[in-house]
Amino acid sequence: MSERRSASATAVRSNGRSRRRTLESLYRELPASAMSATGSLAYRLRELTGRDLVDLESLQDVVSIGYRVADVRSQHRQGKYEIDEFGFDPEFTNAIIPFFRLLYRRYWRVDSVGLEHVPRSGAALLVSNHSGVLPMDGTMIAIAVHQETDRYTRALIAQFFGQLPVLSWFLRRAGGTLGHPDDTLRLLGAGQLVLVFPEGVRGTGKPFRERYRLRRFGRGGFVEMALRAGVPIIPISVVGSEEIYPMIADLQPVARLFGFPYFPITPTWPLLGPLGLIPLPTKWRIRFHPPVHTEEYGSGAADDPALVMRISDEVRDTIQAGLVSELMERRSIFRG
């Protein structure tokens, strides 16, 4: 009896090892199999219709990205990851960048100019207009900077987004952090590129009829941070993000009920349900303006309200003028 039980246990362990090896083999072969199946589907549809209905390159990119993200998440579950004091995970960020690069190149077809003004090393404060209801402008700016300089952009996020369970984790892993002055100074002191949106949720939640009209930049807190850190300010104008979710109404009673800053009504949401959350494929233009240098003033200049407001107004006027210029050059919302 003892020998039979021992033989049975050995057989179970052997079968278990065999199944694990089979699963591991399938896991390794999954990307190639998925890409092959995608290619066959695209070829068959072309035979049937005489047209390329499937963007094979994009689909294969998505499959590859999905595999890479799954691999990184598997390592995370095993505790194999490194993050900085703010929760930034470069490996996770590198895994998701190709997906957002697809949106940048294929979906929103972003044209970026003036990237030569972004420093290749050292700290700088990137300051942009903010819009889109569910703002994607920060991500597209980060992709533009990464493509040109191979540097990560550390975005300052509003308190509201930092409280959302899943989104908060995602934003921190991708380099975002709450817009606290101490954190901002620490990032700038570490030589990082920090992205800030002085309009905040007032920019993302403005109605469509007020698109591309900048809200107030507050009391110039971002200028104080730049002065204290002695870093240049790079103004940025983004056109295209206002139309991805055109907000035609804001149900404030519903927003207050759920603790949201706004509850948007768009031509597709909530009419189309979950499909209404898909952003419109507008044509984007991003302009990086020449830097506004604060290094020459010294950190003590941050205590001069008149200087802070003068620089804040200069940055705001530069961004607004850039928006007007880009809008005049744009042929249509969807064609650029």
- Read off the amino acid at residue 190: A
Q: Which CATH number fits domain 106-244+279-329: 3.40.1130.10, 3.40.50.300, 3.90.870.10, 3.40.50.2300?
A: 3.40.1130.10
Q: Place 167 in a pLDDT band, splitting at 50, 70 and 90.
A: confident
| Bigger pLDDT: 66 vs 209 | 209
Report pLDDT for 179: 87
Place of tokens 């070829």: 43
Rounded to whole angstroms, how far apart are CA atoms 5 and 89? 48
Q: CA triplet 300, 302, 308: central angle to 5 degrees?
A: 140
Digit-coded pLDDT (tens) for 241-292: 999 999 999 999 999 998 889 999 999 999 999 999 999 999 999 999 999 9
How does 16-38 read in b/e, with b if 16+ C-beta sit within 10 Å?
Answer: eeeeeeeeeeeeeeebeebbeeb
Positive or negative torsion for Cα 97, 103, 109, 114? negative
Rounded to the nearest 10 degrees, the angle between the axes of helix 2-49 and helix 56-77 is 150
Q: Place 80 in a pLDDT band, splitting at 50, 70 and 90.
A: confident
Rounded to whole angstroms, how far apart are CA atoms 156 and 263? 22
Task: Report the DSSP pairing between strands 249-250 and 264-265.
Answer: antiparallel
| Bigger pLDDT: 209 vs 159 | 209
Radius of gyration, alpha carbons of the chain: 24
Give how far the C-alpha of residue 108 lies from the chain's centroid of Cα atoms, to the nearest Å.
Answer: 13
Domain ranges for the chain? 2-84, 106-244+279-329
Nearest residue to 90 via CA among 207, 29, 174, 172: 174
| Bigger pLDDT: 31 vs 256 | 256
Q: What is the pTM of this model?
A: 0.83
